[in-house]
Amino acid sequence: MAVRKVLRYGDPILRTPSKDVHKVSKKIQELVTDLLETMYAQNGVGLAAPQIGENYRVFVIDVSTGDEPLNPIVFINPKIIKKSGAVRSHEGCLSFPEAYTDVKRYANVMIKAMDRKGKSFVLEAKDGCLLARAIQHEFDHLDGILFIDHSINRFETESILESLEFPPIEEDKLIEEKELEEQINDAESAKED
Ligand code: ZN
């Protein structure tokens, strides 16, 4: 059990789709422990297995803050079973130290997964809360998708990456999300009126 090295953007493992877990073996439990230790050591809100070089469908999230007790949630073989609404989300990623940009996310998600004991559970997160956004961010990692692929303004993201000496955006990975984009724009212009 250990704090592991977090791979940085540019590493091909981050773009590799991850495999399902067939059995929550001792090896997978150790992977979960390493993910949690590494996430806490880096003050992250979430961490996915490929970020520490393991292409398995496993991620962890903890959205507790300040004096609140730790509240780790472990997701093994997750499936997003419902998603709706849209929200602008200002995000970073432990694989992109210091880089933050605005991305498109669903506001509400329902996810089914197994916990670290292999027990299945369903969790709903709503209203664009941090948990709802973190679930989508971490889930994407399992499919080799990164938060910058959801950029609201790709030119802004491009210049942030450049200023931090990261590789550029991969244009073919950018995800067209017209519906999300329209909903976010409508909500924001309604606020201004
Ligand atoms: Zn990330």
Identify the CATH homologous superfamily for domain 12-192.
Peptide deformylase (3.90.45.10)
Write the pLDDT tens digit of every residue in 119-130.
999 999 999 999
CA of 193 to the centre of ligand 1 (A): 34
Write the pLDDT tens digit of every residue in 144-176.
999 999 999 999 999 999 999 999 999 999 999
Residue boundaries of the structural domains of the chain: 12-192
Write the pLDDT tens digit of every residue in 53-83.
999 999 999 999 988 999 999 999 999 999 9
Residue 181, pLDDT score: 93
CA of 117 to the centre of ligand 1 (A): 24
Write the pLDDT tens digit of every residue in 137-146.
999 999 999 9
CA of 113 to the centre of ligand 1 (A): 19
The catalytically annotated residue of 138, 156, 158, 177 is 138
Q: Over 90: is that where the pLDDT of 193 sits?
A: no
CA of 15 to the centre of ligand 1 (A): 12
Q: Kindly report the average pLDDT of the chain as a whole number.
A: 96
Q: For residues 23 and 192, give the distance between their C-alpha atoms in angstroms, rounded to a whole number.
A: 51
pTM: 0.96
For this structure, is 138 an active site residue? yes
Beta-carbon neighbours within 5 Å of ion ligand 1: 93
CA of 124 to the centre of ligand 1 (A): 20
Residue 191, pLDDT score: 82
Q: Are 131 and 87 in contact (CB under 8 A)?
A: no
